[in-house]
């Protein structure tokens, strides 16, 4: 089992910055993909960014709407994943969730989720 605990959310003015952090406990494998999702009120949860621990050309991945404002990083030794957010906009307001995606045998996979941390950007 994997437990994820997020921190770093809060209230910030438009144009400001925040850094979200997520600590994973339990066994984290190098093949796990770690990432951040967000869910605004009334909307579906959406992928923000993902990162692996290898040299895959597919990672890090960022949602194209972010316009380069966010940076994801991972510390495999500490089992942490962070999301540095710059130039925040009111539309970035959402609950942000840490995620671990794990590929299982037989072609299946499992997702682990944190409880979320609220980010509110005021205009």
CA 95 → CA 27, 51, 92, distances in Å?
Answer: 25, 19, 9
Average pLDDT of the residues in 50-56: 88
Residue whose structure tokens are 């609220």: 118
> For the chain, first and last CA: distance in Å?
40
Looking at residue 48, its pLDDT comes to 98
Q: What is the CA radius of gyration of the chain?
A: 14
Looking at residue 55, its pLDDT comes to 77
Burial of 78 (0-12, 13-18, 19+ CB in 10 A): exposed
Contact by Cβ (8 Å): 92, 76: no
Residue whose structure tokens are 């994943």: 81
Average pLDDT of the residues in 33-40: 98
Average pLDDT of the residues in 99-103: 96
Looking at residue 84, its pLDDT comes to 98
Q: Is the predicted pLDDT of residue 87 greater than 80, yes or no?
A: yes
Looking at residue 56, its pLDDT comes to 84
Looking at residue 93, its pLDDT comes to 98
99 band by pLDDT with thresholds 50, 70 and 90: very high
> Distance between CA atoms of 49 and 99, rounded to whole angstroms?
10
């Amino acid at each position: 089992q994997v437990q994820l605990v997020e921190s770093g959310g809060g209230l910030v003015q438009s144009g400001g910055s925040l850094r979200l952090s997520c600590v994973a406990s339990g066994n984290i494998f190098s093949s796990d993909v770690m990432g951040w999702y967000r869910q605004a009120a009334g909307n579906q949860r959406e992928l923000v960014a993902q990162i692996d621990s290898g040299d895959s050309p597919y990672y890090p991945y960022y949602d194209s709407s972010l316009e380069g404002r966010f940076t994801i990083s991972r510390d495999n030794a500490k089992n942490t994943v962070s999301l540095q957010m710059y130039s925040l906009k009111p539309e970035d307001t959402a609950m942000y969730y840490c995620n671990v995606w794990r590929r299982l045998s037989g072609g299946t996979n499992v997702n682990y989720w944190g409880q979320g941390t609220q980010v509110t950007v005021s205009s």
